[in-house]
Structure 1
Amino acid sequence: MSDPFGRAIRDFHRGEQDEPLRQFDGDESLDHPIEDFYFGEVDPEDERTRWLESRLSGRFLDLGAGAGRDSLYFQDRLETVSLEVSEHLVGTMRERGVDDARLGDMFALPEQFERGRFGSVLAYGTQLALVRSMRGLREFLGDLARVTTDDATAILDNYDPEYEGARELLGYRHDPTPGLGFRVMHFEYEGDVGDTLLFRLFSSDRLRDACVGTGWTLDGVSRGAVGNECHYMAVLEKE
């Protein structure tokens, strides 16, 4: 299976990356910022870190953990499981010292974990948008409810198409439905072309609607800095 994304991040970690990892939508492209996104140190005094620490507790599941940036920090504070769909990224996390890095699909949680396994969940990196549809989002939230405790917290992020900045993202596609949008792109590295990725962008209000009947309720939203308000982190709590 082609995995230019995971391979480029692994090569960066090993000091072997000689070409950029690029994102493409037709003729448009840009370099993906690997170092900034995946290898910056977690600062315990940073506002984001303090905010996450105030929300995360119990057994912790890091979904789409990438190179293990957040897992490395939180595993010293919480029992942590780090899940990634890329073998290259799982190997990278293990090389970097992540204690429990597992190969798995975040959209097939009940097949991988027992009921009520985790007290808190983080899915950071907008990979949640790969649910592809609002029905897929509701199914994911239902599965997430199954593998978490009755008092669990989940922190998820996405881009909000109701903010102008989202429409400037590479691969953005308009949806006439309020609060919804799409993003289509693929990654390339050293001539290796990845699969076309379809992201479903949804506003926090649409996420609140999707929670109905899944066991979750939207407890709060934290938006990005000025100029990046389209990116948000949502806190879900069990009803």
Structure 2
Amino acid sequence: MSMPFAQAVRDFHLDQQRGPLVSHRGEEMEEHPLELYFSEFAAEGDDGAWFESWLDGPLLDLGAGAGRHTLYFQQQFETVAVDQSELLVETMRDRGVEDARVADMFSLRETFERDRFRSVLVFGTQMSLARSIHGVRQFLSDLAFVTAPDATAVVDGFDPEHEQTTEMIDYYADPARGLAYRVLQFEYDGTLGEPWLYRLFTPDRIRDATVGTDWDVVDVNPGTGDWAHHYKLALRKR
């Protein structure tokens, strides 16, 4: 992650926040809520029962941020949290995450041995950073390498065809069916980070991406209310 985001999360954790974290689109700006990363995950909320039905240990939590999900699931089974930011990994450890590691979620084969995990959580729309259908297939191939034959995975995304997604500050349309872009650029404490390019997919396009991989989409959990544009998918290895 670029430094403004990670530094803002770290400072929020330490109660030393130096102004808001904002996302940019040219001169347009929008404050990004940091408390979201520190809210408690619970089985009775946040679709918790649905998550629990698809996840088992050992669990790999990719792009774990401040460790919100890891803190819950490590109470039930072995959970390894990964983020590429040292600041975020340090924050997770401060908060009680037992196994937090600095690593790139797109270099899993170099990080973990074959068949290491029973399930994987990729929550925070990070799979969209694969940037293309081909990139998603490569990522799913790497997931297959580090997971057991009966593995499951939970991923999420913003539906590019939903009206709420098109109103996001960082949304960019694409004429292709079921696709769009996000270009997310954060600023914090006078530092403007490098933009992050996300490729947005509908659930059907994720199904397309699984063709030729070891994975099938086996359940779709659509969003509701203010998060109606945000879906969650469960995948299972063939």
**Counterpart residue identity of residue 90, structure 1:** V
Q: 1:136: Cα distance to partner? A: 0.7
Q: Are 1:14 and 2:14 counterparts?
A: yes
Q: Map 1:1-239 to 2 at 5 A.
A: 3-35=3-35, 37-46=36-45, 48-239=47-238
Root mean square deviation of aligned Cα: 1.2
Which range is displaced more, 20-29 or 199-208? 20-29
1:47-69 superposed Cα distances (whole Å, 9 cap, x missing partner): 51111111111200000001001
Q: 1:173 to 1:150 in 2, by over 3 A?
A: same
One-letter amino acid of the structure 2 residue matched with residue 147 of structure 1: V
Query: Are 2:43 and 2:52, in contact at CA under 8 Å, matched by a contact in 1?
Result: no
The residue matched to 1:4 in structure 2 has which SS?
helix
* Matched position secondary structure for 1:140: helix
**How far, CA to CA, are the matches of 2:229 and 2:2 in structure 1?**
30
How big is the shift at 1:2? 5.2
2-structure distance, mates of 1:88, 1:61: 19
TM-score of the superposed pair, with normalisation by structure 2: 0.97
User: Partners in 2 of 1:141 and 1:43 — Cα distance?
Assistant: 27
Q: Which amino acid aligns with 1:102?
A: R
SS of the residue aligned with 2:225?
coil
Q: Report if aligned partners of 2:181, 2:198 keep a CA contact under 8 Å in 1.
A: yes
Deviation for aligned residue 1:43: 2.3
Could you state the TM-score of these two structures normalised by the residue count of structure 1? 0.97
Q: Secondary structure at the match of 1:213?
A: coil
Q: Secondary structure at the match of 1:139?
A: helix
Residue pair 2:9, 2:34 contacting (<8 A) in 1 also: yes
Runs of 4+ with >3 A deviation: none
Q: Alpha-carbon deviation of 1:229?
A: 2.2
Q: Which amino acid aligns with 1:112?
A: T
Q: Which sections of structure 2, spanning at least 5 residues, go unmatched?
A: none
In structure 2, distance between residues paired with 1:3 and 1:67:
14
Question: Could you list the per-position Cα deviations for residues 63-87 of structure 1 after superposition, in whole angstroms to 9, with x for gaps in the alignment?
Answer: 0001001100100101000000111
The answer to whether the Cα contact below 8 Å between 1:63 and 1:84 also exists between their aligned partners in 2 is yes
Inter-partner Cα distance in structure 2 for 1:214 and 1:116: 16
TM-superposed CA distance for 1:193, in Å, is 1.1
Question: What is the rounded CA distance, in whole Å, between the counterparts of 1:24 and 1:196 in structure 2?
Answer: 9
Letter in 1 for 2:77: L
Shift of 1:169: 1.1
State whether residues 2 and 193 of structure 1, in contact with CA within 8 Å, keep that contact through their aligned partners in structure 2. no
